[in-house]
């Protein structure tokens, strides 16, 4: 296994996880590491203690595919503490090109996931529609202002972390909807050890429990699960649409006003409403770049599988 390549895939996951509307789980799926990631996390349970007692820590580490998990999570953390700042800056200074890139990436990811479905039926199409509807409702909901305390930090962590392994839904966007996004950022900025520890515990519980559910669903109802997840991805495209008008604002952890609710516009409407250039040509190029990256990953995966056979 190429651990450096796995590390880079983890970095891609981490970079997407900090963008409200883009899921790191989507990147995990299209890069082919979702299944081993779920399998490794699923093996972290009480039976691991028995393996440690009988065979030692090294055997237990290899049992959960430890080197792979370390590479993935190291990549995620690297992005969160480095590339995340760059992406945040790009979203502030060049939003249309960046959102166009993510739009193309997610758009072709939908095509890629549909290719993995072996057969289409009315119930599966129904699950696809349900996924689209659920994601659309989530993205248009107004944030719930939960009180920031230790309990909500734990619950917020448990819910948001699921998006890291669930294609289609963004963990940072879930925190935004819960009204905890500014509080979590403030805790990180102020290095509130107790709050961050409780949030991390919630993440751990959510990750260890949800990985079992998603892994079981993919094993037993592979095509049906993929159809629903693909619907989720398609339903979030409205959130990633590059041209928007800000309707309401919120104050972030730095005391700055940032968009809270937005309305999608056509490029022509955007120019008329905001008096800013729509950058249509640049947006198309960036969208095609996003499509090209997923297509390239798809082709690379096909060649890799062919070589293995």
**Residue 70 confidence (pLDDT):** 92
Chain-centre distance of CA 168, in angstroms? 7
DSSP output for 94-150: -HHHHHHHHHHHHHHHHHHHHHT-S---HHHHHHHHHHHHHHHHHHHSPPP----SH
Mean pLDDT along residues 13-28 = 75
**Residue 68 confidence (pLDDT):** 92
Mean pLDDT along residues 269-289 = 92
Q: Which two tokens stand for residue 265?
A: 């516009």
pLDDT at 100 over 90: yes
What are the extents of the domains in the chain? Answer: 3-308
pLDDT at 81 over 60: yes
pLDDT tier at 97, thresholds 50, 70, 90: very high
Q: Which of 21-35, 45-59, 64-78 has the lowest mean pLDDT?
A: 21-35
Token pair 């290719």: residue: 115
- Angle of helix 122-140 versus helix 171-178 axis, rounded to 10: 50
- Percentage of the chain beyond pLDDT 70 is 86
**Residue 16 confidence (pLDDT):** 75
Q: Which residues lie below 8 Å from residue 181, measured CB to CB, with a gap of 6+?
A: 20, 172, 175
- Per-residue burial over 178-214, b = 16 or more CB atoms within 10 Å of its CB, e = otherwise: bbbbbbbeebeeeebeebbebbeebbeebbeebbeeb
* Mean pLDDT over the full length of the chain: 82
* Rounded CA separation 135/125 (Å): 15
* Rounded CA separation 220/225 (Å): 9
Summarize pLDDT for 202-212 with one digit per residue, the tens: 988 888 888 78
pLDDT at 143 over 70: no
pLDDT at 191 over 70: yes
Alpha helices in 43-94 (DSSP H): 47-55, 57-63, 66-78, 84-93
Mean pLDDT along residues 74-93 = 78
Q: Which of 143-147, 269-273, 282-286, 305-309 has the lowest mean pLDDT?
A: 305-309
Summarize pLDDT for 217-228 with one digit per residue, the tens: 888 888 898 899
Mean pLDDT along residues 255-272 = 80
Mean pLDDT along residues 119-129 = 91
């Amino acid at each position: 296994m190429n651990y450096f390549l796995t590390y880079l895939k983890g970095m891609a996951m981490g970079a997407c996880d900090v963008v409200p509307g883009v899921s790191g789980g989507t990147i995990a799926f299209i890069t082919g590491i979702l299944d081993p990631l779920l399998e490794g996390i699923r093996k972290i349970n009480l039976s691991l203690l028995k393996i440690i007692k009988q065979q030692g820590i090294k055997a237990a580490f290899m049992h959960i595919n430890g080197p792979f998990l370390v590479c993935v999570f190291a990549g995620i953390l690297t992005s969160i503490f480095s590339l995340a700042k760059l992406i945040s800056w790009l979203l502030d200074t060049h939003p249309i090109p960046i959102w166009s890139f993510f739009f193309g990436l997610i758009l072709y990811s939908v095509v890629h996931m549909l290719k993995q479905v072996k057969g289409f039926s009315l119930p599966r199409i129904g699950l696809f529609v349900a996924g689209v509807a659920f994601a659309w409702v989530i993205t248009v909901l107004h944030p719930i202002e939960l009180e920031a305390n230790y309990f909500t930090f734990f619950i917020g962590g448990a819910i948001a972390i699921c998006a890291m392994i669930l294609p289609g839904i963004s963990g940072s966007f879930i925190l935004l909807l819960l009204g905890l996004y500014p509080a979590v950022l403030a805790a990180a900025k102020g290095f509130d050890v107790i709050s961050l520890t409780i949030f991390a515990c919630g993440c751990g519980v959510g990750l260890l429990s949800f990985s079992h559910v998603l892994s079981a669903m993919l094993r037993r109802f592979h095509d049906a699960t993929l159809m629903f997840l693909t619907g989720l991805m398609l339903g979030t495209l409205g959130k990633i649409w590059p041209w928007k008008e800000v309707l309401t604002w919120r104050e972030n952890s730095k005391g700055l006003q940032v968009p809270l609710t937005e309305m999608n516009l056509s490029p022509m409407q955007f120019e008329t409403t905001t008096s800013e250039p729509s950058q249509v040509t640049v947006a198309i190029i960036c969208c095609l770049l996003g499509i090209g990256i997923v297509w390239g990953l798809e082709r690379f995966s096909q060649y890799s599988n062919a070589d293995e056979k």
